[in-house]
Structure formats: structure tokens, C-alpha cells
Amino acid sequence: MRKRSFALILYFLFILLPIYWMVNMGLKTNEEILGSFTLFPHAPTIANFRTIFTDPDWYTGYLNSIAYVSMNTVFSVLVALPAAYAFSRYSFLGDKHMFFWLLTNLMSPPAVFLLPFFQLYSSIGLFDTYLAVALAHMLFNVPLAVWILEGFMSGVPREIDETAYIDGYSFPRFFLRIFLPLIRSGVGVTAFFCFMFSWVELLLARTLTSVDAKPIAATMTRTVSAAGMDWGVLAAAGVVTIIPGALVIWFVRNYIAKGFALGRV
């Protein structure tokens, strides 16, 4: 047993050390980073973080990311809900093919779509808007949302639907008043996954934006190449991008494992 906890502690050290190192660097001045090798900041400073929250280049990027990620999460869950219900309750013409086709969208490398995406969204005038990135991310988030929600919905006995219809509920009323509350945790988990995958994706987000909707992650890569290596600010920006994810995960911590287990292949 002792050997096991030792291995676990070792693994968690492996997970946390790189993150700690970034936090550590975010709190140092560039002189300390480059000048001497220190395990913790000797003269802690929040100047790097102040740069990020006062320089419009940085904080608008942050707000942009949050804007399109939220839009994407809401849209994905909204369109996925009825579809997941259909897949879990009815069999219809071509349902299995449809389900498989949705999943193949998780397998298409985004690099394949970069150029056509750029042209498509430019031609309909959406280039450099939140909507463009939100729509583009639905490519992989909607199939995922349908997949997870379908798993949760299949866990709800069908007798509940039938009883509700006998009691005279119409479909929309039944769905909103009875069914949704039953799969609340499922919706939470799905939203978490949509948030997560939209938040971490950079390739499409960077291709579809230039100024107005530029995500913070793209700001990071560009600042690095333009102004040399401002390690402190770069590390601080990295730390800031972890915060929303860490907050969201805290809210769904009890459901994460469940969300992973459900869903069919």
C-alpha cells in the first residue's frame, strides 16, 4: 500500500511541477529569471500580471476567448439536447449512420479545414467575429455533446416519458419541466466538456480571427515572436489562461468521472 501512495505522489509531482514552474516564473522579474536560477521568487512581483490586466492587447484577448467559448458552449448544448433525445428514444431512418457521421467529425484534423474555413467565413462576412469561432468549434463540440448527453438520457427510464404524455404534457413542456431537471448533471458535464475543448483549441481560433476577436492564446504566440522573449509576462499569461478551466472544474468535480463513463461508441 505504501508503495502505491508513493507512486501516486510521484505522479502528481510530475503533473504539478511544470505548472508550479510557470506560476513561479510569472511572479519573477525578467532579471531574476535570466540572472539566477531560483526555486521560488526571491523578490515576488505582480508586475507581469498587472501588464496583462492593464494592457488592452492582453486583456481584450482574454475577454474575446471567454466570449466565443461561452457562445460555443451555449449553442452546442442547445442544439445537442433535442438531437440526443431523438437518438436515445427513437429509431429512425439512418440514425446509426448519422451518429457515426457525427463522430467522424472528431477525426478530421483541423489543419485540413484551415484554408476552406477561412474562405467560407470570409465570404459570409463573419471573419474576425466571435460567432465565426463559436460556429467553427461546434464542428467537434456538437458531436461530443450529442454523444455525452445521449449516454445520460439513456439512463432515464422511458416510462417517465410515457407517464408524462398520458398525463397530458405536450412535448416541449415535458422536456423543459420534467426531463431537463432529471439530466441536470449531464447537461453540466456536457457544458464542461464543450467549454474545455473550445478553450484549449487554438488553430481554428487563430485562423478565423485577426484583431477584434483574437483569443489570448494567439496573443501569446505573436508577442513572443515580435518582442523577443518576455518570459515573465508570457508565464503570467499562461497562468491566467488556466484560471477559468480550474474554476469550471471545481464546480463539476463530482460529475467528471461520471461524464467520462457514459456514452456509447
Partner 1 sequence: MQKTVNNKAWLLVIPVFICVAFSALIPLMTVVNYSVQDILGPDQRVFVGTEWFLQVLQDDDLHAALIRQIEFSAIVLLIEIPLGIALALTLPTGGWRASLCLVLLALPLLIPWNVVGTIWQIFGRGDIGLAGYLVNALGLNYNYTASPIDAWITVVVMDIWHWTPLVVLLCFAGLRAIPDAYYQAARIDGASPWAVFRYIQLPKLRGVLLIAILLRFMGSFMIYTEPFVLTGGGPGNSTTFLSQYLTTLAVGQFDVGPAAAFSIIYFLIILLLSFIFYTVIQNLGKGPAS
| Positions 168 through 207 that interact with partner 1 (CB under 8 A) | 196, 199-203
Kindly tell me the burial class for residue 150, based on how many C-beta atoms sit within 10 Å of its own C-beta (0-12, 13-18, 19 or more).
buried
Closest distance to partner 1 from the beta carbon of 262 (Å):
8
Dig out the grid coordinates for 234 from the structure.
508570457
Q: How far is the CB of 46 from partner 1 (least distance, A)?
A: 19
Q: Which of 51, 82, 131, 188 binds partner 1 (CB under 8 A)?
A: 82
**Identified binder of partner 1 from the candidate list 97, 104, 166, 168, rule CB under 8 A:** 104
Separation between Cα atoms, residue 40 and residue 220, nearest integer Å: 24
Taking CA 110 as the corner, what is the angle to CA 105 and CA 116, rounded to the nearest 5 degrees?
100
Stretch that binds partner 1, among 44-52, 53-61, 176-184, 237-245 (CB under 8 A): 237-245
Task: Select from 75, 115, 83 the least CA-distant residue to 102.
Answer: 83
Stretch of 41-49, 51-59, 179-187, 228-236 contacting partner 1, by CB under 8 A = 228-236
Among 43, 63, 74, 115, binds partner 1 (CB under 8 A): 115
Interhelix angle 47-54/231-251, rounded to 10 degrees, is: 80
Q: For partner 1, which is the closer residue by CB, 92 or 181? A: 92
Q: Which is nearer to partner 1, 180 or 256 (CB)?
A: 256
Between residue 128 and residue 147, which ones bind partner 1 under the rule CB under 8 A? 135-136, 138-139, 142-143, 146
Binding test (CB under 8 A) with partner 1, winner from 19, 43, 63, 180: 19
Helix (H, G, I), strand (E, B) or coil at 85: helix
Question: What are 155-160's contacts with CB under 8 Å, separation 24+?
Answer: 155/262, 156/182, 156/183, 158/89
- Given a contact cutoff of 8 angstroms between Cβ atoms, the answer to whether 247 and 37 are in contact is no
Contact with partner 1 (CB under 8 A) among 117, 127, 152, 179? 117
Q: Which residue has the cell 540572472?
A: 35
Q: Report DSSP state, residue 176.
A: I
For residue 34, state whether it binds partner 1 (rule: CB under 8 A): yes
150 binds partner 1 (CB under 8 A): no
Q: Counting contacts by CB under 8 A, is residue 251 touching partner 1? A: no
CB of 250 to partner 1, least distance (A): 7
